[in-house]
Chains A and B, each alone.
Chain A
Amino acid sequence: MIGLPIAQLQIEKPGGADDCVSSNGFCPEWIAENIDRYWTPLLEHVYLTVAPVAIGFAISLALASMAHRRRWLTGPVIAISGIFFAIPSVAAFFLLQPLTGLGYTTAMVALVSYTLLIIFRNITDGLRNVPAETRDAALGQGLTERQVLYRVEFPMAVPEIMAGLRIATSTTVGLAALAVFAGAGGLGAEILVDKRFKSNVVVAGGLAVLLAAAFDLMILGAQRAMTPWRRSRA
């Protein structure tokens, strides 16, 4: 099993002269000197967030397009993605190991499955909120069903879709901290390296929080840029 050996690790604290470090305290000096050790886990964490959200978004978009034409699909998709969503993440990481082994694949499968419910729901809600008269006008002008979907309905659903992406991304940043149990590294692995050392836990945990905030702002910015029509009111 994988958790145990990691838990026994500790960050080397040479010299023993520093009281703060030897007493596992919060030591700004130590942090300033050792911040480099966190960059690689941070990058892994970025990857563990961006990839699942991107893949989850692609799958959700495809499913939502299908469910838009065949309304009956919506229920089953939400039910199944809801079940995925309900499986505790740590359990999922362990359950998937016999199938996908230890590493990124396992983490990815689990993390992607968590994004589906959130993103799919928001896309379908967004599409449904397009007023009937706008659809009617679009069809009446001679747009085909496909053109209505891609030129009118998806663009008009952007605010809801982006809201879904923001929730999914924040959730994934958090869940990716547990990907260490799938052997996928990330900031979660760094926390477990020495979970009693406050400086370590605060820096690794803090970086995860900052990462979530940064992603959130980026998506919000993208949404603003994509929806100039929402900002300009008479």
Chain B
Amino acid sequence: MGDQSDRSTAEPLEFREVTKRYPGASKPAVDKLSLEVPAGEICVLVGPSGCGKTTAMRMVNRMNEITSGDILLGGRSVKDRKPAELRREIGYVIQHIGLFPHWTIAENIATVPKLQGWDKARIAARVEELLDLIGLPADTSSRYPSQLSGGQRQRVGVARALACDPPVMLMDEPFGAIDPINRERLQNEFLRLQAELRKTIVFVTHDIDEAIKMGDRIAILQEGGKLAQYAPPAELLMYPASRFVEDFVGSDRALKRLALQRVRDIDLWKAAAIRVGTPVTEARAELEDADVPYGMLVDENGRPKGWLSDRAMTGERVTDDVRSPAHPIVELDDVLRDALADLLSSETRYGAVVDKNGSLAGVLSLEVIQHFLHAAPAASPTGADLISE
């Protein structure tokens, strides 16, 4: 059933008052956790160590047993399923990956298909398909895990979890053991993959930045396994529900919101684009209309050349006398946080925003960004929106 990646399956997941109490512990590890993960979304469980996030995740495939409450997968209680059978239908990726060192990459990826009794030809075809999906050369299949780099092993771990096209995936700090540069690359790769596969994913991390980047929704847990807030990342950053959440997301939450948005997503200021030789009266009229008190000199293609000086506007026609170069120039597709950094590191207060062709599309200023941060978010952008194109 549904083992083709082009017709990928996903099921909704629901935690209902889920509690986990370890024998002998005075407090529960997870306390009446209720949340719904819609099919095809990434739910990140994040929180300080000891908040029960991993325990909560592991109850989904019954690696930890539920003390009370229930978890429904596609509307069906996981408690009614045999653990081994249930686990074969749930992708499982852990921090140390846990590839089997004595099996080749192909055998590792084929773990669950083999348990499900697929025939050899089907398994071989699926392994090939998955290696292609994760971007590893086909000859990797006959190698052993010890011959691969950490990043490659991590990809194989993901491929193994995807082998039988499970409707749900559990990922416990899957990028935790990877160096920062490769981690970022793997995160982006994974988001691209997810844009295609649309799995329901429970993703555990202790890193709020990773949570903001990866999550469609974020569940912040606090000590004692209590849910502090469950919301899309932008909402979480905009309206933290408690002091705990506010502290946990950090004092730079405004910056974090900017990291979720592109320049094109916000209301830019209008600029007066003026060519050399334009009658000054016409130019002045355009300036009246603009949000910025200076005109932007543009070439015949509308590309910004520099901010016009007062002297340029004294004659009959506009000359090419500029007060300062058009710097910084940011693109509509730039991430807002990067654009802000450009703005802060330049001497002018205004950044010329250009479209794909390089022609002037508007002006970005600190005021524009401040205004955006104080307005309620129209949509709930996620890190994935920045990746998937």
Contacts and interface: CB of A to CB of B under 8 A. Distances in A.
A191 B96 CA distance: 57
A133 interface: yes
A140 B96 contact: no
Given A139-B87, A140-B92, A133 B98 contact: yes
B interface residue count range (under 10 / 10 to 19 / 20 to 34 / 35 or more): 20 to 34
Contacts of B145: 229
B61 A140 contact: yes
Contact of A138 (B85, B86, B96, B98): B98
Contacts of A23: none
Interface stretch (A4-12, A38-46, A141-149): A141-149
Interface stretch (B99-107, B216-224, B373-381): B99-107
A87 B48 CA distance: 57
A74 B147 CA distance: 35
Contact of B100 (A138, A139, A140): A138
A152 B63 contact: no
A137 B149 contact: no
A142 B96 contact: no
A144 B62 CA distance: 13
Given A141-B92, A142-B85, A143-B115, A234 B146 contact: yes
Given A156-B102, A227-B102, A141 B94 contact: no
Interface in B20-69: 61, 63
Contacts of A125: none
B94 A140 contact: yes
A140 B147 contact: no
Nearest to A152: B100
Interface string A141-169: 11110010000100110100000000000
A3 to B, nearest CB: 49
B92 A232 contact: no
Interface in B344-380: none
B118 to A, nearest CB: 14
B303 interface: no
Contact of B97 (A137, A144, A156): A137
Contact of B143 (A139, A140, A232): A232
A138 B102 CA distance: 13
A88 interface: no
A136 B170 CA distance: 13
Contacts of A135: 98
Contacts of A152: 100, 102
Given A140-B87, A141-B115, A142-B87, A232 B146 contact: yes
A233 B146 contact: yes
Contact of B92 (A137, A147, A234): A137
30 contacts: A133-B95, A133-B96, A133-B97, A133-B98, A134-B101, A136-B94, A136-B98, A137-B98, A137-B99, A139-B63, A139-B87, A140-B87, A140-B94, A140-B170, A141-B87, A141-B88, A141-B111, A141-B112, A142-B88, A142-B89, A142-B112, A155-B102, A156-B100, A158-B102, A227-B102, A228-B144, A229-B101, A232-B144, A232-B146, A234-B146
